[in-house]
């Protein structure tokens, strides 16, 4: 792998940019690997990268049915924050936030992590109480999160409407200054390039259609559209399709898959300096470096794998955006799209060993797993390499739905990203 640097740019500028190499190799699959990761989203590619980097396992294939990063990783609104309610959540989301900080240097790839602050608006007494509770819980866990008055919120994000007569009055806000955004594609590409350089085979257009097990139940490999590929360890990291894959190994999951949509506006000059979220009215907004407003909507109410959602969901979100930011009422929306998110009953992920020997699963990130990408990948690699969870992901088991030890962010996070 040739290192990216200012010198590389200068060198290539002199010779007509003829020397850039492909960012990752595209090999044909081998017959057998030590580890197979199913799903080349950020979490899967990151897992392969940390397996190679931290655990010295390099005989790895990442199998992807479409193109890498084409799942939810490339479809999300890229909000990054760690101010969840529970200790377990603080553990994993803040671990991720710490890794975001050095990720561009680590990968030698600019993932454009921008800690511009994530502001969550409180519109009613309930919101105020819940957010203040979060702020206190976060403080005990060493996670930054602070309370803003409506005036302070407006000072932090000037286009915000805080008028008392507003349809959704702003009664205050919780601000996590270390929160922000990153470039979603770059996260997938950066991990892919760095993993490939360490010997990981990334195989696109290769759909896993079956999980094979020996007589003793242990995993022996996967059936794919490119034939059988052997491995004693298989990690499923397939977001909306995780329950479909786990079913192939006979494991039924506490998951439901819903469409979640987002949209972007025409590009304009910098106007939204931070991320603004409103759980209560289902709207999330930030501005990309290209100038587009990036707006996230809510989920549809029914299970679907269609990667499209209803138009009324987007309209509902835009209604809310226009109330909160009257300045945007005449903006044009350019594109909208949907992803399929895998939602658990307690809205916390599952990152764990499974009842099947050699089968591991990292799923259930639902509407909000982009922010966790580096942390999730790091501890999942640990879980696969050592065949036991890292202490950070130890609570995120599959068994918690039997024992009752839920990590109930459902009330706390609802549809939040």
Partner 1 sequence: MLLIRCPYCEEERPELEFRNAGEAHVARPADIAAISDEDFEAFFFIRSNPKGIIYERWRHIHGCARFFNAVRDTVSDKFVMTYKAGEPKPKKLPGVAK
Ligand X SMILES: Cc1cc2nc3c(=O)[nH]c(=O)nc-3n(C[C@H](O)[C@H](O)[C@H](O)COP(=O)(O)OP(=O)(O)OC[C@H]3O[C@@H](n4cnc5c(N)ncnc54)[C@H](O)[C@@H]3O)c2cc1C
Binding site residues, partner 1, CB under 8 A: 241, 243-244, 252-257, 301-306, 308, 310-312, 345, 401-404
- CA 148 to chain CA centroid, nearest Å: 27
**Considering only residues 24-43, where is the footprint of ligand X by CB under 6 A?**
38-43
* Contact between 183 and ligand X per CB under 6 A: no
Which residue number, 238 or 285, has a Cβ lying nearer to partner 1?
238
- Under a CB-based contact definition with an 8 Å cutoff, are residues 276 and 157 in contact? yes
Residue listed under structure tokens 């924050």? 81
Residue 71 interacts with, from ligand X, partner 1, none (CB under 5-8 Å by kind): ligand X
380 binding ligand X? (CB under 6 A): no
Candidates 33, 37, 60, 65: give the one binding ligand X (CB under 6 A). Answer: 65
Question: 97 or 148: whose CB is closer to ligand X?
Answer: 97
CB 109 within 8 A of CB 192: no
For 36, what's the count of Cα atoms within 13 Å in the CB-facing half-sphere? 31
Q: If binding is defined by CB under 6 A, does position 179 make contact with ligand X?
A: no
95 contacts ligand X (rule: CB under 6 A): no
Residue 403 interface partner, choices ligand X, partner 1, none, CB cut-off 5-8 Å depending on type: partner 1
Binding part of the chain for ligand X, among 12-20, 108-116, 155-163, 239-247 by CB under 6 A, reads 239-247
End-to-end Cα distance, the chain:
34
**Among 272, 262, 277, residue whose Cα is nearest residue 413:** 277
Burial 30-48 (b: 16+ CB within 10 A, else e): eeebbbbbbbbbbbbbbbb
- Rounded CA separation 171/164 (Å): 9
Q: Is 89 in the site for ligand X (CB under 6 A)?
A: no
**How far is the C-alpha of 355 from the C-alpha of 384, rounded, in Å?**
14
CB of 127 to ligand X, least distance (A): 19
Sign of CA dihedral 87, 95, 175, 331: negative
Q: Which of 12, 146, 207, 256 binds ligand X (CB under 6 A)?
A: 207
How big is the site for ligand X, counted in residues (CB under 6 A)?
40
Q: Of residues 36, 63, 203, 352, which one binds ligand X by CB under 6 A?
A: 63
DSSP letter string, 386-397: HTS--TTTTT--
> Considering the complex, what minimum distance in angstroms separates the CB of residue 327 from ligand X?
22
Q: Which is nearer to partner 1, 101 or 399 (CB)?
A: 399
- Does the protein bind ligand X through residue 278 (CB under 6 A)? no
Yes or no: say if 145 and 174 are a contact pair by the CB < 8 Å rule.
Answer: yes
Label residue 134 exposed, middle or buried (CB < 10 Å: 0-12, 13-18, 19+). Answer: buried
User: Min. distance of Cβ 275 from ligand X in angstroms?
Assistant: 8
**Cα–Cα distance, 190 to 168 (Å, whole number):** 40
The CA distance from 181 to 82, in Å, is 12
| Minimum gap (Å) between residue 395 Cβ and partner 1 | 16
Using CB distances below 5 to 8 A depending on partner kind, what does residue 253 bind out of partner 1, ligand X, none? partner 1
The option from partner 1, ligand X, none interacting with 65 (CB < 5 to 8 A, set by class) reads: ligand X
Torsion sign (Cα): 184, 185, 188, 193: negative
* Choices 28-36, 99-107, 260-268, 395-403 (CB under 6 A): range interacting with ligand X: 260-268
- The DSSP code for 114 is B
Taking residues 340 to 379 in sequence order and writing x for each that binds ligand X by CB under 6 A, - otherwise, the string is -x-----------------------x-xxxxx--------
3-state SS class at 205: coil
Verify binding: residue 99, ligand X, rule CB under 6 A. no
Residues of the shown chain interacting with ligand X in the complex, contacts defined by CB under 6 A: 38-44, 63-66, 70-73, 75-79, 207-208, 237-239, 241, 245, 260-262, 296, 339, 341, 365, 367-371, 417
């Amino acid at each position: 792998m040739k290192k990216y640097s200012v010198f590389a740019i200068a060198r290539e500028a002199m010779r007509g940019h003829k020397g850039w190499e492909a960012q990752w190799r595209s090999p044909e699959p081998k017959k057998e690997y030590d580890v197979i990761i199913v799903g080349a989203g950020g979490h899967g590619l990151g897992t392969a990268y940390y397996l190679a980097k931290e655990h010295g396992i390099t005989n790895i294939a990442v199998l992807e049915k479409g193109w890498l990063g084409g799942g939810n990783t490339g479809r999300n609104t890229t909000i990054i924050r760690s101010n969840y309610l529970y200790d377990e959540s603080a553990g994993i989301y803040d671990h991720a936030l710490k890794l975001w900080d050095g990720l561009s240097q680590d990968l030698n790839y600019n993932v454009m992590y921008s800690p511009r602050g994530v502001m969550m608006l409180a519109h009613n007494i309930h919101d105020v109480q819940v957010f203040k509770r979060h702020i206190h819980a976060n403080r005990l866990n060493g996670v930054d999160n602070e309370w803003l008055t409506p005036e302070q919120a407006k000072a932090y994000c000037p286009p915000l409407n805080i008028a008392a007569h507003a349809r959704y009055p702003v009664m205050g806000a919780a601000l996590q200054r270390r929160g922000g955004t990153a470039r979603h594609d770059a996260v997938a590409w950066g991990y892919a390039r760095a993993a490939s350089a360490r010997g990981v085979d990334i195989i696109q257009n290769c759909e896993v259609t079956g999980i094979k097990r020996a007589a003793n139940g242990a995993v022996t490999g996967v059936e794919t559209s490119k034939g059988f590929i052997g491995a004693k360890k298989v990690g499923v990291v397939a977001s909306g399709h995780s329950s479909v894959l786990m079913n192939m190994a006979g494991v039924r999951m506490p998951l439901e898959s819903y469409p979640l949509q987002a949209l972007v506006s025409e590009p304009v000059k910098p106007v939204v300096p931070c991320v603004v979220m409103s759980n209560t009215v289902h709207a999330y907004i930030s501005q990309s470096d290209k100038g587009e407003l990036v707006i996230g909507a809510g989920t549809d109410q029914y299970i679907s794998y269609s990667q499209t959602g209803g138009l009324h969901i987007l309209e509902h979100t835009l209604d809310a955006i226009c109330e909160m930011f009257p300045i945007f009422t005449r903006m044009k929306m350019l594109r909208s799209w949907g992803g399929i998110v895998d939602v658990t009953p307690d809205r916390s992920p599952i990152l764990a060993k499974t009842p099947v020997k050699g089968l591991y699963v990292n799923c259930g990130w639902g509407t909000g797993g982009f922010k966790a990408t580096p942390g999730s990948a790091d501890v999942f690699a640990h879980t696969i390499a050592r065949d036991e969870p890292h202490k950070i992901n130890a609570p995120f088991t599959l068994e918690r739905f039997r024992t009752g030890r839920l990590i109930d962010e459902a009330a706390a996070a609802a549809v939040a990203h």
